[in-house]
């Protein structure tokens, strides 16, 4: 009998989701639905709201129901790290997880945030990190997740600056060997650690844009050839982006990072790498469209 070429019935599709609290706002279901259409992979993807005190229980129930993988968003990235049986090198370096895969070997944890950032900067924005002078603002979880992937691009300099200087210095100590291996000069501290010359790339990994707050940073760090990148995104440029533009820099938000880290998660799960560019364009159009609700 000739095999059927019909698309798999919805019930045959393998289950994935984004887990967080809150989670209803997440654009991950839209992104992964586009990836599934693009690649023909038979998946379904939804939201999973987990109680703040029951992350592990919710994950195990999802696995028992046939779930194959999860994207993990706030506030559970550290919980996911503790739950995983094995870690990718980048997840181990980040100390946090945004991607879980479930298979016969157990729970595998990865962190695709840094990959997404690097790919957005280099591919979508056309800015090479090799040999670049980079300033990273912030030393929390978002910053920690991107240090190793940036170092792997062999920049000339990476300066980590945080309001609490000791946190930046802790990150420097953690990644000293990786910096040595890449030939990068790695420094860090408080606002005074910013060098008095324009950087090639400045990445805002603080949560300041959520509250329209600017991270403390010497204005001389911004120049006409600087790419000022905010991990946050919205319908309008963030306050950090606006500030950078007034200083003559080129500014970009983190929407491309969101799409590219999702594409890498898809690859971790399915072994197929989708093209993020058309999905990023669709998201930009969605953000720009007037609210019709």
Q: Which residues are catalytic?
A: 77
Angle separating helix axes 255-270 and 28-39, nearest 10 degrees: 50
165 annotated as belonging to a binding site for a ligand: yes
Same domain membership, residue 194 and residue 236: yes
Q: Say if residue 129 is in the same domain as residue 238.
A: yes
Q: What is the pTM of this model?
A: 0.92
* Pairwise CA distance, residues 293 & 283, whole Å: 17
SS3 255: helix
Same domain flag for 173 and 55: no
**Which domain, by its residues, includes 213?**
114-255
- Residue-wise pLDDT tens digits, 60-70: 999 999 999 99
Mean pLDDT for the chain overall: 94
Say yes or no: 239 and 120 in one domain.
yes
Structural domain total, the chain = 2
261 marked among binding-site residues: yes
Whether 140 and 116 have beta carbons less than 8 Å apart is answered as no
Q: Does one domain contain both 119 and 234?
A: yes
> Quick check: helix, strand or coil at residue 196?
coil
Q: Is 111 annotated as a binding residue?
A: no
Helices (H) and strands (E) in the chain, counts: 11, 12
Residue 154 lies in a domain: yes
Q: Is 187 annotated as a binding residue?
A: no
CATH of residue 42: 3.40.50.10860
Q: Check residue 289 and give its pLDDT.
A: 81
| Same domain? 104 vs 72 | yes
Looking at the structure, tell me whether residues 146 and 191 fall in a common domain: yes
Report the pLDDT value the prediction gives residue 8, as an integer from 0 to 100: 42
Residue range 256-267: average pLDDT? Answer: 98
- Are residues 26 and 136 both part of a single domain? no
Calculate what percentage of the chain has a pLDDT beyond 90: 89
- 167 in a labelled binding site: yes
Whether the bond between 75 and the residue before it is cis, its omega within 30 degrees of 0, is: yes
């Amino acid at each position: 009998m000739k095999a059927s070429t019909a698309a798999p019935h919805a019930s045959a599709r393998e289950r994935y989701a984004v887990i967080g609290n809150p989670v209803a706002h997440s654009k991950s279901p839209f992104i992964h639905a586009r990836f599934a259409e693009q690649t023909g992979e038979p998946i379904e993807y939804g939201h999973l709201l987990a109680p703040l005190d029951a992350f592990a229980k919710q994950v195990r129930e999802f696995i028992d129901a046939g779930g194959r993988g999860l994207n993990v968003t706030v506030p559970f990235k550290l919980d996911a790290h503790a739950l995983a049986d094995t870690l990718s090198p980048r997840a181990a370096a980040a100390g946090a997880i945004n991607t879980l895969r479930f298979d016969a070997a157990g729970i595998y944890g990865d962190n695709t945030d840094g990959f997404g950032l690097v790919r957005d900067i280099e591919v979508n924005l056309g800015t090479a990190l090799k040999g670049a002078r980079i300033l990273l603002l912030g030393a929390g979880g978002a910053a920690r997740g991107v240090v190793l992937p940036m170092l792997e691009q062999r920049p000339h300099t990476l300066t980590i600056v945080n309001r609490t200087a000791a946190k930046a210095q802790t990150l420097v100590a953690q990644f000293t060997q990786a910096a040595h291996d890449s030939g990068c000069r790695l420094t860090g501290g408080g606002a005074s650690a910013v060098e008095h010359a324009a950087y090639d790339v400045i990445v805002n990994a603080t949560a300041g844009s959520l509250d329209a707050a600017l991270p403390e940073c010497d204005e001389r760090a911004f120049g006409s050839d600087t790419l000022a990148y905010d991990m946050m995104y919205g319908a309008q440029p963030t306050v950090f982006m606006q500030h950078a533009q007034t200083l003559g820099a080129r500014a970009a938000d983190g929407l491309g990072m969101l799409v590219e880290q999702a594409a890498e998660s898809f690859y971790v799960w399915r072994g197929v790498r989708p093209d993020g560019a058309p999905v990023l364009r669709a998201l930009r159009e969605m953000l720009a469209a007037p609210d019709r609700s």
